[in-house]
Every structure is written in structure tokens, then in C-alpha cells.
């Protein structure tokens, strides 16, 4: 049975897609079979890595027709597949809103073959709160949310996230309990103290969320390598493998995977070109 992680935030512009794509690529290089699901009408994840096979349909076909065949595309990365976004007009959110099982259908579909055979499923979401984001959150075993390293943004994250978790809690009665949320400080520059910000976030989040929000120790540094790797359509851990005093993208993803998946070994097995 696959572990499903939804990368979500109640605001846009926090690099959810970059995080989703690079997590998937790193897990694939660890030998895990990984599936990316693009649940954003702006289909950035769908074109993040080149495809060697494009399926006839994507997320809309999967959701509306409950079709599990012909919706999985293959990237050029070994063991990394994709369900692409095929909803340029944003009509899927209206279908989800109006369908009786709209918000929980994705959860139940991803529990069936062929999706259940993957080790990890990663769902990217849009920044706007709405039915499509609700469906992606309800499908998750774990939620992962990037947080900008400013305390006002962090407080906004806590307020928005706690509101979302409380609003979606009744999904449990439909077989889709909301999973625990892991926050990760994202785009941390050298002038910031990650530990201080993380501790302040923990204080802000613990009581309002009743312990449902955990802030990870790993932080993603502000670095041009993430944007450069995306330009070349290559996984950032392959692009930036330097070993030095500041963590490389490889070091950072290794630490992140160790926190999220402590049962996995964290050294990629595939060759790096």
C-alpha cells in the first residue's frame, strides 16, 4: 500500500511544486516507486520533468470517470511516474464540489490498483483553498507544508492551516481522516536562525492545532540551484552534490527524507549524469 503525501499550503508562491518534484525524484533514486499527482490547474508539475510516455488522460479522467487505466504517464526518470493536470479551465473543482463523493473520491481511487502498488504518492496542490485542494488533502496519509521563514508568514500559516484542518476533520466519517501535518521552513537565507524560527513556530502551532502540526528540523535553504535545476528539468540532488560547510541540495534532501521516512536508507542508488 502506497504512502500518500500531499504538499499543501493555504497560500501560493511557496514552491510547493519544486518541493514535490524533487522529493519524488530523490525517492525514485533511492529505489522507491514514486507517483507524482498534479492537482493544480496551473500544470507546472506536469512539465517539470520530461516524459517518455504520455497517457491519454490525467487527473480529470481519473476523478470524473474513476478510470484507473490510461492515466499514468512515465517520466524519463526511472521509477518516477506522473498523473498530469488536464484541467486548464479549472472545471474539476466545480465537479468535485457538486459530486456526492467529490472530496473523498481521490482518496479511495489511490487506494486501488495500480496506484496501491507504488511505494510513495506525492500530490501537488494549488495555493487557493477550494474543493480541489480539499480532495488532495483528504487523500493524504501525511501533509507537508513549506513555510516562508518570516514570523508573520508563519503565523498566517498556522491560522490558515488550523482552520483548514478543523474544517476538513469531518472527512473522517467518509473514510478520509485528515493526516498529520509536517511543516518545513523553506527558502531560509543565511541571515536567519532556523532553530529560532522553528521553535517560535512550534510554540505558535502546538496549542491551536492540538499537536497536529509538527515543524521539521530540516530547512530548505534559499538557493538558486533549485531554480537552475528546474530550468534544466533535472532533479536538484543530481544538480547540486557538492560537499562543503553549507548543505548542498543533496544533503538537504537526504536530511528531509530521513525525517519523513526514517525506515528508508537515504543514499541514492542511481548513477548521476
Cβ-contact 119, 1 below 8 angstroms: no
**Least confident residue range of 21-25, 54-58, 189-193, 210-214:** 189-193
For 12, which DSSP code? S
The mean of the pLDDT values for the chain is 90
Q: Does the reported pTM lie above 0.75?
A: yes
Mean pLDDT of 9-16: 80
**Alpha helices for the chain (secondary structure H):** 16-29, 59-65, 92-98, 102-110, 131-138, 151-168, 194-209, 224-231, 236-239, 249-260
**Integer Cα distance of 121 and 140 in angstroms:** 9
Please write the tens of the pLDDT for every residue from 28-87: 999 999 999 999 999 999 999 999 999 999 999 999 999 888 999 999 999 999 999 999
**Integer Cα distance of 261 and 257 in angstroms:** 5
**Integer Cα distance of 91 and 208 in angstroms:** 34
**Integer Cα distance of 137 and 131 in angstroms:** 10
Please write the tens of the pLDDT for every residue from 72-111: 999 999 999 999 999 988 899 999 999 999 999 999 999 9
Cβ-contact 239, 228 below 8 angstroms: yes
**Integer Cα distance of 159 and 151 in angstroms:** 12
Grid cell locating 220: 530548505
Burial degree of 44 (CB within 10 A; 0-12, 13-18, 19+)? middle
For 93, which DSSP code? H
Amino acid at each position: 500500500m502506497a504512502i500518500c503525501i500531499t504538499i499543501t499550503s493555504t497560500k501560493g508562491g511557496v514552491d510547493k511544486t519544486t518541493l514535490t518534484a524533487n522529493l519524488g525524484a530523490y525517492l525514485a533514486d533511492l529505489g522507491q516507486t514514486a507517483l507524482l499527482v498534479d492537482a493544480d490547474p496551473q500544470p507546472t508539475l506536469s512539465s517539470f520533468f520530461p516524459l517518455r510516455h504520455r497517457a491519454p488522460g490525467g487527473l480529470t479522467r481519473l476523478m470524473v470517470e474513476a478510470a484507473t487505466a490510461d492515466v499514468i504517464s512515465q517520466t524519463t526518470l526511472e521509477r518516477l511516474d506522473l498523473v498530469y493536470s488536464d484541467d486548464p479551465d479549472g472545471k474539476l473543482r466545480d465537479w468535485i464540489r457538486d459530486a456526492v463523493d467529490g472530496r473523498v473520491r481521490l482518496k479511495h481511487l489511490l487506494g486501488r490498483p495500480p496506484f496501491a502498488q507504488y511505494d510513495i504518492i506525492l500530490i501537488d496542490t494549488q495555493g487557493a483553498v477550494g474543493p480541489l485542494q480539499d480532495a488532495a488533502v483528504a487523500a493524504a496519509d501525511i501533509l507537508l507544508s513549506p513555510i516562508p521563514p518570516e514570523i508573520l508568514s508563519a503565523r498566517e500559516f498556522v491560522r490558515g492551516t488550523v482552520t483548514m484542518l478543523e474544517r476538513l476533520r469531518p472527512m473522517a466519517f467518509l473514510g478520509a481522516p485528515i493526516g498529520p501535518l509536517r511543516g518545513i521552513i523553506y527558502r531560509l537565507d543565511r541571515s536567519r536562525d532556523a532553530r529560532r524560527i522553528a521553535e517560535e513556530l512550534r510554540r505558535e502551532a502546538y496549542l491551536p492545532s492540538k499537536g497536529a502540526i509538527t515543524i521539521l528540523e530540516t530547512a530548505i535553504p534559499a538557493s538558486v540551484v533549485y531554480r537552475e535545476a528546474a530550468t534544466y528539468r533535472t532533479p536538484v540532488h543530481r544538480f547540486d552534490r557538492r560537499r562543503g560547510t553549507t548543505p548542498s541540495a543533496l544533503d538537504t534532501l537526504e536530511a528531509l527524507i530521513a525525517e519523513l521516512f526514517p525506515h528508508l536508507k537515504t543514499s541514492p542508488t542511481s548513477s548521476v549524469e
